[in-house]
Amino acid sequence: MKSESVKIQTHNIGEILRAMGMDDQHSELHIIAAENSNVGLPIPYPFRSDHFAFHIITEGQLLVKLNLINYQLKKQSVLMLHPNTVRQYLEVSPDCRVVSISFTPKYLSGTDINKKNIDAFDFLLSLVNPLISVSISEADILVSLLNILKYKIENDTSLPFHDDVIINLFTAFIYEISAYYKSREESMEIKGTRKEELTFRFLKLLPQHFIDQRSVQFYASTLNITPKYLSQAVKDTTGKTAGEQIDDMISIEAKILLTNPSLTIAQIADNLNFSDQFSFSKFFKKQFGMSPSKYRQTS
């Protein structure tokens, strides 16, 4: 039986807010305004979330690690966080101010975005780079939308159509921020081909199943295509085969778990569903040219 202690924790919106000393506004949607966002590093360890989030930096700097990649956020930076992305907040400047929105996939599905223009959000899910820089006027628009949304969540709750107003304000924010991301995407002119669509669907499945399902056959069967076609589609779109993407996901998880000195390599191997420690070490050495214990010593 796998030890629960070796798993990377997943936090919901309420748990993150409580760590920051804040109360929930809404179980599936929350806005943090700049004036109360200087909260330091309430969760110092790597973790996942069950929700999406956008961070807009209005002052100062913030250093965040996403899936082992560092992102330096500064004034007018916008960062998108997906569920299942392993994130760790490393450094925050004393003058850092952030306006953030967090929302669950369930709340998103309750809007008209999925019915009228799924591209407005699906485009964001397929981004290679989740960090962009916006102009002062664009940042002002995003912050203004979120401040209005925050006010409406917290006030006028007895007015007719209160929930509808909130959903429409939220939808406006998603369209606005999607436009900014899309305008900066260099490959924007490439339309959504069949291979890109399959790659997007594969990359959505991967974080949910990679520990227990490592064969390309599983993902191909789920998508009703052949393993060969899936691997070629993923390689044409991302530069790596489906099998290489699976190995990359396992490698990221392994590296993150190895940064926790309280976990034995045997525990990590078990949690990642390797048959034994030797198999895990063989896989890790093939990926990185060193053993897990050596990586632990040098990281």
The answer to whether residues 102 and 231 belong to one domain is no
The reported pLDDT for the residue numbered 5 is: 44
Q: What is the pLDDT of residues 90-139, one digit of tens each?
A: 998 988 899 999 998 888 877 766 555 556 666 566 556 788 999 999 99
The answer to whether residues 223 and 249 belong to one domain is yes
Q: Give residue for tokens 């223009």.
A: 117
- Mean pLDDT computed over 252-273: 89
- Domain region containing 224: 194-298
The reported pLDDT for the residue numbered 137 is: 96
The answer to whether residues 20 and 167 belong to one domain is yes
Q: What is the pLDDT of residues 178-216, one digit of tens each?
A: 889 888 765 444 445 678 778 878 887 888 888 899 999
- Residue at 97 is within a domain: yes
The answer to whether residues 255 and 146 belong to one domain is no
β-strands 10-11, 69-73: how paired? unpaired
Longest dimension (CA), the chain: 63
Q: Are 165 and 108 in contact (CB under 8 A)?
A: no
Q: What is the pLDDT of residues 125-166, one digit of tens each?
A: 655 678 899 999 999 999 999 999 999 998 888 889 988 999
The answer to whether residues 12 and 160 belong to one domain is yes
Q: What is the pLDDT of residues 197-206, one digit of tens each?
A: 788 788 878 8
Percent pLDDT > 70 in the chain is: 86
70 or 222, which is more confident = 222
SS (H, E, C) the chain: CCCHHHCCCEECHHHHHHHCCCCCCCCCEEEECHHHCCCCCCCCCCEEECCEEEEEEEECCEEEEECCEEEEECCCEEEEECCCCCEEEEEECCCCEEEEEEECHHHHHCCCHHHHCCHHHHHHHCCCCCEEECCHHHHHHHHHHHHHHHHHHHCCCCCCCHHHHHHHHHHHHHHHHHHHHHHHCCCCCCCCCHHHHHHHHHHHHHHHHCCCCCCHHHHHHHCCCCHHHHHHHHHHHHCCCHHHHHHHHHHHHHHHHHCCCCCCHHHHHHHCCCCCHHHHHHHHHHHHCCCHHHHHHHC
- Mean pLDDT computed over 5-22: 79
Beta bridge partners of 80: 54
Percent pLDDT > 90 in the chain is: 42
- CA angle at 113 for the pair 112 and 118, rounded to the nearest 5°: 140
The reported pLDDT for the residue numbered 277 is: 94
The CATH number of the domain holding residue 271 is: 1.10.10.60
The answer to whether residues 214 and 173 belong to one domain is no
* Sequence-ordered list of residues with C-beta below 8 angstroms from that of 264, at least 6 positions apart, any chain: none
The reported pLDDT for the residue numbered 39 is: 55
| pLDDT of 36 strictly over 70 | no
Q: Is the pTM of this model over 0.75?
A: no
| pLDDT of 23 strictly over 80 | no
In angstroms, the first-to-last Cα distance of the chain is 28
- Residue at 189 is within a domain: no
β-strands 69-73, 62-66: how paired? antiparallel
- Residue at 123 is within a domain: yes
The reported pLDDT for the residue numbered 172 is: 92
- CA proximity to 85, closest of 69, 103, 61: 69
